[in-house]
Amino acid sequence: MTPEQTLKHIQRYIARQHVFSLFAHHNNDIWPASCYYAFDAKTMCLILMTDPNSKHGQLMVANPQVAGTISAQTKAVNAIQGIQFTGEIKILESEEAQLARSFYCRRFPVAIAAKLPVWLLHLQNVKMVDNKLGFGTKLYWECQI
């Protein structure tokens, strides 16, 4: 698979899902969270809404380097697919936040009423396990910026 094909394969998988596990940390404190996301394939970013005063929100404000996973649940070993990633997250403001909120709310219309800030998680390193391509197949993508 070429690097371009690998990227497209990863993007298609991320776009088909809607929840990810987020892991935030700072000093010796770590916390997980499950978050809904909208995926911007052009920028390789996850857009999410969450409270900055939550445990994971506080940790992300203190340290924007995060990790996470995206996976569907299946019992068939030959159908296992999933993403592991690292990235950098930030709270969006002003026009950037308005555009991202609109993008997110198109995916999750119920979020229109939410008063939470919009966050942008820029994916930096991605590893995809895809047993549909053969048991133990791993695909890698790294941000070049």
Question: CA-to-CA distance for 87 and 14, rounded, in angstroms?
Answer: 14
* 93-134 residue pLDDT tens: 999 999 999 999 999 999 999 999 999 999 999 999 999 999
Query: What is the pLDDT, as a whole number, of residue 102?
Result: 97
- Three-state DSSP class for residue 55: helix
Beta bridge partners of 98: none
- d(CA 108, CA 28) in angstroms, rounded, equals 34
35: Cα separation from own chain's centroid: 9
Q: How would residue 6 be classed by pLDDT, with cut points 50, 70 and 90?
A: very high
So what's the pLDDT on residue 144? Answer: 87
What's the whole-model pTM score?
Answer: 0.95
Instruction: Give the alpha-carbon dihedral of 50, 53, 54, 57, to 10 degrees.
Output: 60
pLDDT band, residue 145 (cuts 50/70/90): confident
Q: How would you class 82 by CB atoms within 10 Å of its CB: exposed for 0-12, middle for 13-18, buried for 19 or more?
A: middle
- If 0-12 CB within 10 Å is exposed, 13-18 middle and 19+ buried, where does residue 26 land? middle
What's the rounded Cα separation, in Å, for the pair 98 and 24? 25
d(CA 6, CA 42): 15
